[in-house]
Amino acid sequence: MPQPPRSTTPRRVQYDAKSGSAGPAGNRPRTGPGMMGGRMGGGPGGGPQRGGAMRHRGIGSLSPRRTGGAPVTQERSAHKKIVKIEGTVGLQTLAARMGAKAGEVLMKLMSLGMTGVNINSNLEPDTAKIVASEFGWEVEDVAVSEEDRLVAAQGLEPKGEEDEGLEPRPPVVTVMGHVDHGKTSLLDYIRKSQVTEGEAGGITQHIGAYSVPTSRGPVTFLDTPGHAAFSQMRARGAQTTDIVILVVAADDGVMPQTKEAVTHARAAKVPIVVAVNKIDKEGAQPERVRRELSEVGLVPEEWGGDTLFCECSAITGQGVEKLLENVALQAEILELRANRTRPASGVVIEAKLDRGQGPVATVLVQSGTLQRGDVLLAGSAYGKVRAMLDDRGKNTDVAGPSVPVAVIGLNDVPAAGDPVHVLKSLKEAQEIAESRHHRERRSVMSAHKKVSMEELQRKMSQGDQLELKLIIKADVQGSVEALSSALTELSTAKVKTTIVHAAVGAITEGDINLAIAAKAIVVGFNVRPAGKAGALAQKEGIEIRLHRIIYDVTDDIRRSMEGLLAPTLVERLIGKAEVRQLFKLGKTSVIAGCMVTEGVVKRNAVARVLRAGDLVWQGRISSLKRFKDDAREVKEGFDCGITLDGFTAMVEGDVLEVSETEEVRQTL
Mapping DSSP to helix (H, G, I), strand (E, B) and coil, where does residue 22 land?
Answer: coil
Binding status of residue 182 toward ligand GDP by CB under 6 A: yes
Q: Which of 180, 260, 292, 630 binds ligand GDP (CB under 6 A)?
A: 180
User: Any idea what the Cα angle at residue 348 is, between residues 156 and 240, rounded to 5°?
Assistant: 85
Shortest distance (Å) from residue 189 CB to ligand GDP? 8
Those residues with Cβ within 8 angstroms of residue 123's Cβ, 6 or more apart along the chain or in another chain: 56, 88, 89, 90, 91, 94, 109, 131
Touching ligand GDP, residues 265-304 (CB under 6 A): 277-278, 280-281
Q: How many CB atoms lie within 10 A of CB 406?
A: 27
With CB atoms as reference, the residue minimizing the distance to ligand GDP is 182
Query: Does residue 192 touch ligand GDP according to CB under 6 A?
Result: no
For residue 2, the one-letter residue type is P
Nearer to ligand GDP, 281 or 448 (CB): 281
| Interface mask toward ligand GDP for 132-171; x: CB under 6 A | ----------------------------------------
Name the one range near ligand GDP by CB under 6 A: 182-190, 374-382, 407-415, 563-571.
182-190
Rounded Cα distance, 640 and 624, in Å: 7
Report whether 617 contacts 574 (CB < 8 A): no
Kindly compute the dihedral angle of the four CA atoms of residues 294, 299, 304, 305, in this order, to the nearest 10 degrees. 150
In three-state secondary structure terms, 601 is strand
Q: Which of 153, 293, 314, 320 binds ligand GDP (CB under 6 A)?
A: 314
Closest distance between ligand GDP and the C-beta of residue 655, in Å? 25
Q: Give the residue, chosen from 183, 469, 547, 602, that forms a contact with ligand GDP under the rule CB under 6 A.
A: 183
Nearest Cα to Cα of residue 487 among 415, 560, 407 = 560
Q: How many angstroms separate the most distant Cα atoms in the chain?
A: 97
Binding string, 203-242, against ligand GDP, x = CB under 6 A?
Answer: ----------------------x-----------------
Per CB under 6 A, the list member of 184, 339, 369, 380 interacting with ligand GDP is 184
Which residue of 169, 181, 436, 469 would you call a contact of ligand GDP, by CB under 6 A?
181
Which CB atom, from 8 or from 184, has the smaller least distance to ligand GDP?
184
Among 107, 110, 119, 179, contact with ligand GDP (rule: CB under 6 A): 179
For the chain, what percentages of helix, strand and coil (3-state, to nearest 5) are there? 30, 30, 40
User: Which CB atom, from 321 or from 467, has the smaller least distance to ligand GDP?
Assistant: 321
Nearest approach, Cβ of residue 661 and ligand GDP (Å): 18
The nearest distance, CB 300 to ligand GDP, in angstroms, is 19
How far, in Å, are 17, 178, 188, 246, 601 from residue 257 at the CA level?
Answer: 22, 5, 21, 10, 28
Q: Does 548 contact ligand GDP by CB under 6 A?
A: no
35: which DSSP letter?
Answer: G
The interface with ligand GDP within residues 580-599 (CB under 6 A) comprises none
Cβ nearer to ligand GDP, comparing 542 with 621: 621
Q: State yes or no: residue 660 binds ligand GDP (CB under 6 A).
A: no
Q: Residues touching ligand GDP: how many (CB under 6 A)? A: 17
* Cβ nearer to ligand GDP, comparing 466 with 600: 600
Closest of 373, 387, 379, 359 to residue 424, by C-alpha:
373
**CA–CA dist 569, 606 (Å, integer):** 13
Contact 533, 507 (CB under 8 A): yes
Closest to ligand GDP by CB, 392 or 603:
603
Can residue 127 be called a binding residue for ligand GDP (CB under 6 A)? no
Binding site for ligand GDP (CB under 6 A): 177, 179-185, 225, 277-278, 280-281, 313-315, 632
